[in-house]
Amino acid sequence: MRKVFVITKREFLKYVRSKWFRAFFILPFLGIGIIFLISSFTPEGGLRAAYGEEKAEKIGVIDHSTRLLPYLVNAEDYQFIEMDSLVAFDMVMAGDIEGFLIIPGDSDLYNPIYYSRNISIETDKLSGPLNTAALKLSLEEKGLDASLADELNRRVRITPRKITETGEKGGEELVVLGFIMVISLYMFIVLASTLMARSAVEEKLNGMIELIISDISPSGLLFGKLLGVTASVFLLVVVWILVGITLMGNAIFFINRTIDISLPAGVLVYFAGAFIFGYTLYTSFILLFVSSVTSEQEVNQSMSAGIVILMIPYFLSFFWVIENPGSIVSVVSSLIPFFTPLVMPLRLSISTVPFWEIILSIALLAAAAWGILILAGKVYRISMLMVGKPLRLREIFRLIKMK
Amino acid sequence: MLKVSEVYKTYGNVEALKGLSFEVEKGSVYGLLGPNGSGKTTTIRIILSIIYPDKGDVEMDFEKIGYMPEERGLYPKMQIDELIYFFGRLRGMERERIEKEMDFWLGRLELMNRKKDKVQTLSKGLKQRLHLLISVLHDPEFLIFDEPFTGLDPIAIKELRELFSELKERGKTVLLSTHWMDQAEQLCDSVCLIREGERIYAGPLEDLKEAHRKNDIYLEIKGTVDFKQFPGITEIVSKGEGFIIRTKNEPGEFLRSLTKITNVVEFRLVYPTLEEIFIEEVEGA
């Protein structure tokens, strides 16, 4: 075990001291610094501005119809000012107003044009006050009370609450948390698996595998590397999470809203299990292909097989499971070991999953992770000393059968 | 002592070793000799338990083994002292002992001024020295060198040979795998000749040479002699001040006849070189 820790220490220090690690480590702190910097330059100052609570933008209005403007009411985000088109242009250029609207004559009343130095998808938000104004105009013209417009515009808002055996939970927050879990897990697994794959063949590519395995067994070497890589990536992720929590805490404080982001202990335990077994499964799977490479280029090619498989549950989670957590596709995919680590935690966070599915999925995942790890260890041990072309799938199976 | 007994190893359809056996005595320099692909590296890997034989046994009573493989890669971005420390720790050495041994060997191999440099900045020859340092760092009783002379210039070869002699004087046992016969001849006490995984010969180098001796004699005399008068002489070649004479008869008998008619300045048996024996054995078999 002492030898394993010597390898672990070297791997850990190698990554922690590397330039990319420093860059990734510094990045979140840099992000916070930028946010503080931006906030200090806003007129209001402070973090509230940085979190988006900005002053209403001034929008010039040139109403050729002369009918719509009286109904245009200042909104939370916009302040409407009537003006001449020439003045409007100069004011935009001078930065006095954000932009100006030209409302055409009668026939084109519903097709106004917006001019600004900055056109973005946010521009679409202007449609809200304009629609209300147009509705009020229509109501008045039909002899109805214009104030009915506010009533007509009222939308139905559903507040989702997830119910479990232990009580009810917030809905939107759980969906967001589920997403965060899937993204975090995906990031960690991809980052750690690719690092591990590169690390596993480092000695082979350096031409020192024979030297090192005369001092430590291939399985000891692999285990030491696994611990070292995991520890370094874990450190990185912990820093990111802490920074994320700090930012989220500040955001919650400034938007004056209470968010229930606590998860049942069982889900957290499952998440930890999915993380450990998922990481083992993907890393071992990538190792199966990577062990036989003889160049850096081949490492990338071999890794792509594993990454592609990992992409499937990722997209499945985002485009299907999130909307249909109880569908047959979601249920079946959450039981397939390669999909389980991403699909099941998401299902658990947004829906109530039968207990047998939870147990079966983690059992299948653990069994698959163990099996692939054994196979990968065997292929690694044998193929480390091999030279020549990388192995094909058929040859890998032949190696697995060898004593 | 190392004893390799009836070892077989197959890779797919290729029989790498076919019942190879030999013994290495403690304190000796033993040559594992054979052409490329003859099974030398496979034998070493089996001795080191990197791979396992299909059949046969390897016994040894050495606890600490040093190994310098043929392929000489190292972590290129590591500092030299960090690399040495890493291998020291891997072999269970304490920090103080690693530092002591490191300083001794860095000085001995003239690498002290490169201690803080990265491995990738070293030349091929210096990397070879660093490999050598790593193999002897933990003071092993048994050292295995796989093709240590490959890629070295003559000066580096001479230095390496001197180091091997030094290790032998210190009582270390050395297994030297090479196809450089001239180097093996100068260094080895015993050899094992292998070809296509089979043993051709295993034993003392002297016995091998004796077995391949062809009654060739180096002779230096005063004055001139007509060698035709001696029966059994098949070939006479001038060499330096004397001649190389090949005779069918016993050299002693020829010497007795010769001393009756002339003064003999030098008379010695000429043994074939290891390279000649090797070529004869490998090509002839």
Please name which of A363, A364, A347 lies closest in space to residue A162, comparing C-alpha atoms: A347
Residues in chain A: 403
Q: How far apart are CA A134 and CA B197, in angstroms?
A: 94
User: Which own/partner contact pairs does A297-305 have at CB distance under 8 Å and 24+ positions apart?
Assistant: A298/A390, A299/A197, A299/A198, A299/A201, A299/A205, A302/A197, A302/A390, A303/A193, A303/A194, A303/A197
More confident site: A47 or B280: B280
B228 in Cβ contact with B282 (< 8 Å)? no
Q: Is the pLDDT of residue B87 over 80?
A: yes
Strand partners, B33: B178, B193
B100: left (phi over 0), alpha (psi -120 to 50) or beta: alpha
Of B69, B76, B134, the CB nearest to A206: B76
Q: Which residue type is seen at A217?
A: S
Residue A318 DSSP code: I
Q: Which residues pair with A60 in a beta bridge?
A: A81, A100
Residues of A in contact with B90 (CB under 8 A): 3, 6-7, 212, 215-216
Pairing of strands B65-68, B55-60: unpaired
Structural tokens at position A95? 């930065």
Determine the distance in angstroms separating the CA of A99 from the nearest CA of chain B, rounded to an integer.
Answer: 57
Q: How far apart are CA A58 and CA A100, in angstroms?
A: 9
What is the per-residue pLDDT for B158?
Answer: 86
Token code pair at residue B85: 């420390």
> Hey, what domains does chain A have and what are their CATH numbers?
2-32+169-401 (no CATH), 59-152 (3.40.190.10)
Of A219, A237, A212, whose CA–CA distance to A27 is shortest?
A237
From the list A2, A206, A211, which residue is nearest B67 (CB)? A211
Q: Give per-residue pLDDT as tens, B171-187.
A: 899 999 988 888 888 88
Judging contacts by C-beta atoms under 8 Å, the chain A residues touching residue B89 are: 6
**Which residue's entry shows tokens 């032998």?**
B168
Please give the DSSP secondary-structure letter assigned to residue A51.
T
pLDDT per residue as tens digits for the range B108-146:
888 899 999 999 999 888 888 899 899 999 999 999 999
Nearest-by-Cβ selection for A214 from B48, B74, B131: B48
Average confidence score pLDDT of chain B: 88
List the pLDDT tens digit at each of the 403 positions of chain A: 888 999 999 989 988 888 888 887 777 777 777 776 776 665 554 444 445 555 678 889 998 888 888 888 887 778 889 888 788 888 888 888 888 888 888 677 778 888 888 776 567 778 888 888 888 888 888 888 888 887 887 777 766 666 655 555 555 556 676 677 777 777 777 778 778 878 888 888 888 888 888 888 888 888 898 889 888 888 887 887 777 777 666 655 555 555 555 566 777 788 788 888 888 888 888 887 777 777 777 777 777 766 777 777 777 777 777 777 778 888 888 898 888 888 888 888 777 788 899 899 999 999 999 998 888 888 887 777 665 555 566 666 666 665 5
CA atoms within 13 A on the CB side of B177: 22
Residues 6+ apart with CB under 8 A from A392: none
Are residues B178 and B184 in contact, defined by beta-carbon separation less than 8 angstroms? yes
Q: Which of A3-17, A283-297, B66-80, B260-274 has the lowest mean pLDDT?
A: A283-297
Using the beta-carbon criterion (under 8 Å), do A385 and B134 form an inter-chain contact? no
Asked whether B90 and B118 are in contact (CB, 8 A), the reply is no
What is residue A9's predicted lDDT score, i.e. its pLDDT? 92
Per 3-state DSSP, chain B is made up of helix, strand and coil in percentages (nearest 5) of 35, 30, 30
Give the residue numbers in A contacting B (CB under 8 Å), as ranges. 2-3, 6-7, 10, 202-203, 206-216, 385
Return the beta strands (E) in B173-223 as ranges.
173-178, 190-195, 198-204, 216-221
Of A310, A80, A346, A359, residue with least CA distance to A186: A310
Nearest-CA distance A297 → chain B (Å) = 18
pLDDT at A50: 47
Quick one: pLDDT at residue B31?
A: 92
Say which residue, B166 or B213, is predicted with more confidence: B166
Please report how many Cα atoms fall inside a 13 Å half-sphere around the Cα of residue B123, on the Cβ side.
Answer: 7
Q: Which secondary structure element, helix H or strand E, spans residue A362, and what is its range?
A: helix A355-383
Q: How far apart are CA A402 and CA B11, in angstroms?
A: 10
Distance separating the N- and C-terminal Cα atoms of chain B = 30
ipTM: 0.78
Q: Between B48, B71, B90, which is nearest A207 by CB?
A: B71
Is A3's CB within 8 Å of B90's CB?
yes
* SS3 labels along B52-100: CCCEEEEEECCCCEEEECCCCCCCCCCEHHHHHHHHHHHCCCCHHHHHH
Nearest CA in chain B to A402: B12
Residue in the structure block whose two tokens are 């966070």: A349
d(CA A60, CA A315): 43
How far is residue A268 CA from its own chain's centroid?
Answer: 18
